[in-house]
Amino acid sequence: MVEKKTKKAAGKATAKRGSAKTAKPRKTAPKPKPGKVVLLSGGNPQIAMGYGNAPVQAYIAAMPGWKSDVGRRLDTLIERAVPGVCKAVKWNSPFYGIEEGVWFLSFHCFTKYIKVTFLRGASLRPLPPGESKHKAVRYLDIHEGQLDEAQFVDWVEQASRLPGERM
């Protein structure tokens, strides 16, 4: 009788050990090779957080397809409209501000468009078309070939004169 219990216990222990061997390892995101940028869902570049022009230019260079050209154009228009604008990459998005830590605009890549976020966009006239869950925020979705530069520059100039968002 004792022998049977011992065999059962041994069988259970073997089954437990066997199942541990067949368990699949957890998948982790592959580490990017040096110089290679990972694109997140929707094609948004994964760029390390950083302050200044260099990380923003790295983000823009990594934007896929037509979005890179539009990103360069947005950056140029913002620099012209707001001389001395501060730049940073935070949360995989370029941010533009009136001083470091006080931001008025950011943008982000999605599969079919670039979403520009005006952090105090509810105060802009006319209102940017995209609504947000946040009362003060408004969005502008830019699809390929649909950038209204004059309107964009007007909004950037207005946004830069408003109190920025501290982040």
> Which amino acid is residue 2, in one-letter code?
V
Beta bridge partners of 108: 115
Residue 29: what pLDDT?
Answer: 46
Which tens digit of pLDDT belongs to each residue from 55-109? 999 999 999 999 999 999 999 999 999 999 999 999 999 999 998 889 999 999 9
Class of residue 64 by CB neighbours under 10 A (exposed 0-12, middle 13-18, buried 19+): middle
Q: Is the pLDDT of residue 24 over 80?
A: no
Residue 138: what pLDDT?
Answer: 98
End-to-end CA distance of the chain: 71
> What are the chain's domains?
40-166 (3.90.1150.200)
Class of residue 78 by CB neighbours under 10 A (exposed 0-12, middle 13-18, buried 19+): buried
Q: What's the CA gap between 119 and 150, in Å, rounded?
A: 19
Residue 45: what pLDDT?
Answer: 85
pLDDT band of residue 48 (cuts 50, 70, 90) is confident
Tokens of 63: 């934007």
